[in-house]
Amino acid sequence: MRLPGERQFVEVMGAMPLPAHVGDPEGGGGMRLFVSYAGGGLRQVDLTAAEVAKLEVLVPDAGADPAEVLAGMWAAWMRHTCGSRYPSVLAASPLRPYAHQSEAVYGNMLRQPMLRFLLADEPGTGKTIMGGLWLREAQRLGHVRRAVVVCPAHLVSKWQLDFERFLGGGLRRITAATAREGALSGQHDLWVVSMELAAVNPAVYEAIHPDNAGWDAVVIDEAHRLTPTAERYWRVGQMLCRNTLRAVLMTATPHRGNEWLFRSLMHLVDPDVFPAVGDVNDEQPTSRLKPGVMHFVRRMKEELVGFDGEQLFKARRADNVKVPLSAAERAYYDEALSLVDRWFPAAARSLARMVYGKRAASSLHALAETLRRRSDRIGSQNPADAALEADADDEDDEAASEVRVVNEHSTDARAERRDIADLLRRLEDDLGRSARPLASTPGDATSAGLDPAPPGSAGVASVLAGPPSPGLAASKWPRMIDECLTPNGITAGSGEQVVVFTEYADTAQWLRRRFESAGFSARTYSGRDPHSVRDQTRSEFAVGKFEVLVSTDAGNEGIDLQSAHVLVNWDIPWSLVRLEQRMGRIHRIGQGRDVRLYNIVATDTREGEAMARLLDNLVAAANELDGKIFDSLRLITEQALDEAHVTDLAKLLGRCFDDGDAGSSALEAVSRITAERLRQIHERQRSAEQHLDSGVELGAAYEVLHDDRLERINPHIVERFASVAADADAIAFERSAAADRGFWQIAGRTMELPASLLPPSGDTARLVATSASAKQRAASAGLEAAAEAVVLGPGEDAFTELAEAVGEHVAAALLRGGVLYDPNEAHDCEMHVYEGEIAEGRAAPRRRCYAVKTTSTGARPVPWAALANLTAQPPAAMADRGGARAERVAEATAASEISARTSIRDDAEDAAELRGGGGGPASAGLAAELLPPEVEASAADPPARERDRELSHRQRRLDEWLGGAAHQLRDLPNQLTDEIDDRDERLALRSRLEAITAERIAALHEASRVCARGDMRRLGWARVVGCGSVAAPDASDSESVAVRYVVNRLSNEGFAVTDVQTEGQGYDLHARRGSEQRLVEVKGIAGSAASTGITLTGGEWVRAALQGDAYWLYVVDDCDNGGRLFGEYRDPATLFASDAVEITNVRIRGAVLDAVRTTGPGFEANSASEVTKRAAAGGQPGAGESPERTQEPGAGFAADADAGVTA
């Protein structure tokens, strides 16, 4: 009821009369009510007799506004989806996990309420995606609220980028300033911090301590760095893992040939179960630990396949291209080093030689730019401070080294500047002048995007920046073109793509201009570019808009460049981490061709011979092993270097620039690292980890894929729900001009929007995107407004809050009920909506809503897609047809406009009257007929049974997992103690571990208990008027003939077929064959389908849009003679979308069916748009006819194949 002076209805939990002196001193008749509010809570309300008379009692008389009732039902559907266990995070994301990713996240990780896990797949398999996806899903399910990701500094931006691209963003970086300012104590929940910062900064260490930050989960990437020998990292790992309930560690190298290192890592994963390790350098144990899938999973690249069974990773081969410097290049190289010897302080010479030498070997343009910066910056800043500013996050050591060198003091700054200017002038003369002018002042340079000229070198930058001219040639350039590009079909204008890596942004710019002058389309990608520019460059390269991507190491972490199959290292980084990352940029999931890798080595530099020798051996070993060595390049090479008594490759090569004969000693050291030895180390490493291979269980991945497709709602359903809410005048929802599709303006009308959707200050509406991919496309297209759009998709908080707000706003109308219409049904019925909760362990209960249909034959649950058949207004065509059905519709329309109210008149009336059993104005027709108690009672049983079925299904799955987990835990005490020789020590440790595992199993049992929370609650109902016609007998016979025909056809093709016609799913048959799933709608025609066409109901059309290419339409005609297949249509919602709008029926004419039909495998259907074009061009008569819509009451609704979903 609604209390006097209040807007919202409340539920009366109890009532009692009040004596005359309580609350009503002038007389009796007052009442004390105990009322409950939608937001929760119970309060006491005392009313006088006069106030009692003004009460509005809500009765189920079907007299509410039909539009509000329909909005309430849609809101219940959306709230049900938000409480689903299925992966709704993916519904608004462009991400589509591969089979191994789906198995890990949904088959292993999310099944564990208290996850302690090591994800150890090989490189390039998408561990970042898996870790982030688990984190987001765990948040959605209520297991996790606050979490921190810990990773190496160079991967922080990768994590943030992946979250932004695929998982809704919101991953904030923890810096020293963050810790100082106490920002972690705020409301934000998801953070990422670099491992290095956490290890060395005491303030950050304390800020991220779980006791202070309250983490529910920690995710640690590159977790193999957390070893007992790396004390600071180990301390960080112990602090986080011991004090956080859930921990996910990720590494591609969990074992590294040392069983103790592996066991120390497992100790971090689960400190209670896996004992601490002593000295990791002790003699290796005789037994090898293999944790079960409760704690651990590792899959190898060669065994990974997609849902279609195809191998995910292609072959790869590497080659070295050794190029000596030309005489002129060598002269400038030597002269640059001589500048160092003349003018740098002795302590700075080694680093300065290295910087000048490496840049000269990369390109003379890079050398010139460094010299120019040196001339400008000599002694202007403390070198250490300048380096820290340039590389505050420790991600670009080359940039930091250069900044340190150019700011170093000079023994004679004026003389050094004179020598630099002289060298640059001669270099200009050798190269020849360019037509491109150099900015004459620093201000001009800044505005033009150029650097200012150094004193005395007015034309040098113009020469080096412009197109190459006759004169001094770059010795590497023709070798790259002739030996790396041309043999792979990469020529100017060919459209074939290549990725070229260099260490220096200066060289990258020069290379881009060289490529462009040679006729190639080229772009650069470097840390100097803003993130928006990098995102656009990456996106355009992925779709083939240009041929050459020239990238630096800084800023490329995490980017996937597999649209190219050739990669060239223009210069070679001294960091094995960088080299390994480069090698993996194009050998990724999604690469469709074999990969070619090329290393261009300048051999006659100080470190050139040593680098060439090392690369020769690496490449020889890698090619012999089909490129597998590149996946663990750093680990294997570091082990080989350690055997050669080389602790650090970069330091070894750096010594080549010291005084003396350091180059020969470096060559001697790397010569000991033979190809055979590298192969042996690799084989030893593989052998040591072979027993850890978990394999891929595709069955679990298929199950998730199928369940996801059946439960999913997509952006189109979100848009339709918002449109229904707008029809009820709760909100305003209009398509935005910000982009072609997926963008809308939302504002409150009679309902206040949740805080997350309130318009910015000064605006009247909030821009929203109904899918993350739509926002991504718009941002890539340069639409700045798109960046501010709120993603309103399934799994997003804003969408959940909107569904809650709409549901609460129309709750009273839904409970009262209204009259709705179904153009597809010939008989009337009632539609009821119920709500209940499911609790799992300690997690917050999940709300589940259920739709129930009652007819004269009983009550049964119906799928939510059935709402698509219902309208708030009667079909316009019915009024023109006359007869009993039209009269029934007219009666319902008139009755729905009558408002029935009742009042509580005195305290003598019983509880039934409080429910609204009498009084008030007279009501008439359908809307005045109260919901009969027996109908209400019968409708309550199916949702309770549905919830019980869901509980049973979930509990069965958890019990299956728990059985395996318990077996693994019980086996661990023996595994971990078998190698202990001392019997007493062995038994004591075994006993302690058995007690720990028994306690863990009991805790898992408790956490895995699923139960119903409270009773089912009826949210409301609607009386549904059937406006359709009774099917003719021959139509029913045709449908039966057609279904039998299709079942036989699919069975012969190897499908297992389930008939679901009576379940109201929006399709007739559910067919499975391995990973393939078909949801089949069958249409049977007695005569010719080409003449009659077919009709899809609104529910069938919505289900088709939801399921995308998993939904198949089979049309069987000539059913009077046993039937024949007229056509099979995959994804009809896209195929026949054309100009489709929100509809209750879709009529597809025979000519269109005939034009786009398929008759079996291998027959490629035309799209409806192609048919229309042919007709417009004078093609087949009638082929241009669009699908006929029998009703068009609402907003646009069309399938969107590239919205990041399949419908």
Q: Is the pLDDT of residue 1124 over 80?
A: yes
Q: Is the pLDDT of residue 432 over 70?
A: no
Q: Regarding beta strands 548-552 and 498-502, do their DSSP bridges make them parallel or antiparallel, or are they unpaired?
A: parallel
The CATH code belonging to domain 88-275+284-299 is 3.40.50.10810
The predicted pLDDT at position 212 comes to 94
Give 17-64 pLDDT, tens digit per residue. 887 665 555 556 788 999 886 556 788 999 888 888 888 888 888 999
Read off φ and ψ for residue 802, nearest 5 degrees: -65, -45
Q: Residue 804, CB half-sphere, CA atoms under 13 Å: how many?
A: 15
**Average pLDDT of every residue of the chain:** 81
When mean pLDDT is compared across 286-295, 465-474, 835-844, 1093-1102, the lowest value belongs to: 465-474
Tell me how crowded residue 1134 is: count the other CB atoms within 10 A of its CB: 23
* Sign of the CA dihedral with 551 first, then 553, 558, and 561 last: positive
Per the structure block, which two tokens stand in for 394? 């420790």
Query: Measuring CA to CA, which residue among 977, 825, 885 is closest to residue 263?
Result: 977
Q: Is the pLDDT of residue 1165 over 50?
A: no
The predicted pLDDT at position 707 comes to 58
The predicted pLDDT at position 959 comes to 87
Helix, strand, coil in percent for the chain, rounding step 5: 45, 15, 40
Query: Measuring CA to CA, which residue among 420, 426, 418 is closest to residue 405?
Result: 420
Q: Regarding beta strands 172-173 and 846-855, do their DSSP bridges make them parallel or antiparallel, or are they unpaired?
A: unpaired
When mean pLDDT is compared across 553-562, 939-948, 1065-1074, the lowest value belongs to: 553-562
Q: Which helix (H) or strand (E) holds 707?
A: helix 698-711
The predicted pLDDT at position 906 comes to 35
Tell me how crowded residue 207 is: count the other CB atoms within 10 A of its CB: 23
Under 8 Å between Cβ of 859 and 1018: no
Under 8 Å between Cβ of 902 and 59: yes
The predicted pLDDT at position 340 comes to 95
Tokens 């772009």 map to which residue? 523
Give 231-288 pLDDT, tens digit per residue. 999 999 999 999 999 999 999 888 877 888 999 999 999 998 998 888 888 888 878 8
Question: What distance lies between CA 500 and its chain's CA centroid?
Answer: 28
Tokens 């700011």 map to which residue? 407
For the chain, what is the radius of gyration of the CA atoms? 36
Residue ranges in 554-711 assigned as alpha helix (H): 576-584, 608-624, 633-643, 649-654, 662-671, 675-690, 698-711
In angstroms, the CA 387 to CA 1029 distance is 80
Q: Is the pLDDT of residue 765 over 90?
A: yes
The predicted pLDDT at position 490 comes to 96
Report which residue type is found at 1173: K
3-state secondary structure of 1000: helix
170 φ/ψ sector (left φ>0, alpha ψ -120 to 50, else beta): left
The predicted pLDDT at position 853 comes to 92
In angstroms, the CA 340 to CA 410 distance is 9
Contacts of 550 (CB under 8 A, 6+ apart): 500, 502, 508, 511, 512, 515, 522, 523, 524, 525
Under 8 Å between Cβ of 555 and 157: yes
CA angle 540, 543, 544 (to 5 degrees): 85
Per the structure block, which two tokens stand in for 880? 């023109």
Give 949-993 pLDDT, tens digit per residue. 889 988 888 888 888 888 888 988 988 888 888 899 989 999 999
Under 8 Å between Cβ of 116 and 295: yes
Residue ranges in 810-851 assigned as alpha helix (H): 811-816
The predicted pLDDT at position 711 comes to 56
Average pLDDT score over residue span 298-323: 86
**Through-space distance between the first and last CA atoms of the chain, rounded to whole angstroms:** 42
The predicted pLDDT at position 1032 comes to 59
3-state secondary structure of 127: helix
Residue ranges in 1084-1163 assigned as alpha helix (H): 1089-1092, 1098-1107, 1132-1135, 1150-1156
In angstroms, the CA 638 to CA 322 distance is 23
Report which residue type is found at 630: F
In angstroms, the CA 465 to CA 457 distance is 13
Convert 346-370 to b/e letters by CB count within 10 Å (16 or more is b): eebbbbbbbbbbbbbbbbbbbbbbb
The domain defined by 1031-1189 folds into Trna Endonuclease; Chain: A, domain 1 (3.40.1350)
For residue 188, CA distances in Å to 92, 142, 148, 236, 239 come to 22, 16, 11, 22, 22
Average pLDDT score over residue span 214-221: 96
pLDDT band at 639 (very low <50, low <70, confident <90, very high): confident
Average pLDDT score over residue span 571-582: 87
The predicted pLDDT at position 392 comes to 64
Q: Which helix (H) or strand (E) holds 775?
A: helix 772-780
Q: Is the pLDDT of residue 1004 over 70?
A: yes
Average pLDDT score over residue span 501-505: 93
Q: Residue 324, CB half-sphere, CA atoms under 13 Å: how many?
A: 5
Under 8 Å between Cβ of 456 and 417: yes
In angstroms, the CA 726 to CA 769 distance is 17
Q: Is the pLDDT of residue 328 over 60?
A: yes
Average pLDDT score over residue span 1041-1067: 89
Domain boundaries, the chain: 11-53, 88-275+284-299, 325-465, 1031-1189
In angstroms, the CA 851 to CA 942 distance is 9
Report which residue type is found at 742: G
When mean pLDDT is compared across 98-107, 670-679, 788-797, 1177-1186, the lowest value belongs to: 1177-1186
The predicted pLDDT at position 891 comes to 57
Note if the pTM is more than 0.75.
no
Under 8 Å between Cβ of 223 and 250: yes
In angstroms, the CA 810 to CA 71 distance is 7
In angstroms, the CA 1122 to CA 275 distance is 70
For residue 551, CA distances in Å to 482, 536, 555, 881, 1004 come to 21, 14, 9, 69, 49
* Angle between helical axes of 633-643 and 675-690 (0-180°, round to 10): 120
pLDDT band at 568 (very low <50, low <70, confident <90, very high): very high
Tokens 């008569």 map to which residue? 1181
* Sign of the CA dihedral with 509 first, then 514, 516, and 521 last: negative
Average pLDDT score over residue span 907-923: 36
Under 8 Å between Cβ of 585 and 556: yes
pLDDT band at 766 (very low <50, low <70, confident <90, very high): very high
Q: Is the pLDDT of residue 827 over 60?
A: yes
Percentage of the chain modeled with pLDDT above 90: 38
In angstroms, the CA 508 to CA 524 distance is 6
Domains 88-275+284-299 and 1031-1189 share a fold: no
When mean pLDDT is compared across 237-241, 246-250, 507-511, 645-649, the lowest value belongs to: 645-649
Helices (H) and strands (E) in the chain, counts: 44, 33
When mean pLDDT is compared across 268-277, 493-502, 1144-1153, 1183-1192, the lowest value belongs to: 1183-1192
Under 8 Å between Cβ of 948 and 848: no
Average pLDDT score over residue span 1089-1110: 82
Tell me how crowded residue 652 is: count the other CB atoms within 10 A of its CB: 21
Under 8 Å between Cβ of 1081 and 1111: yes
The predicted pLDDT at position 213 comes to 94
Q: Regarding beta strands 566-569 and 595-602, do their DSSP bridges make them parallel or antiparallel, or are they unpaired?
A: parallel
Under 8 Å between Cβ of 549 and 565: no
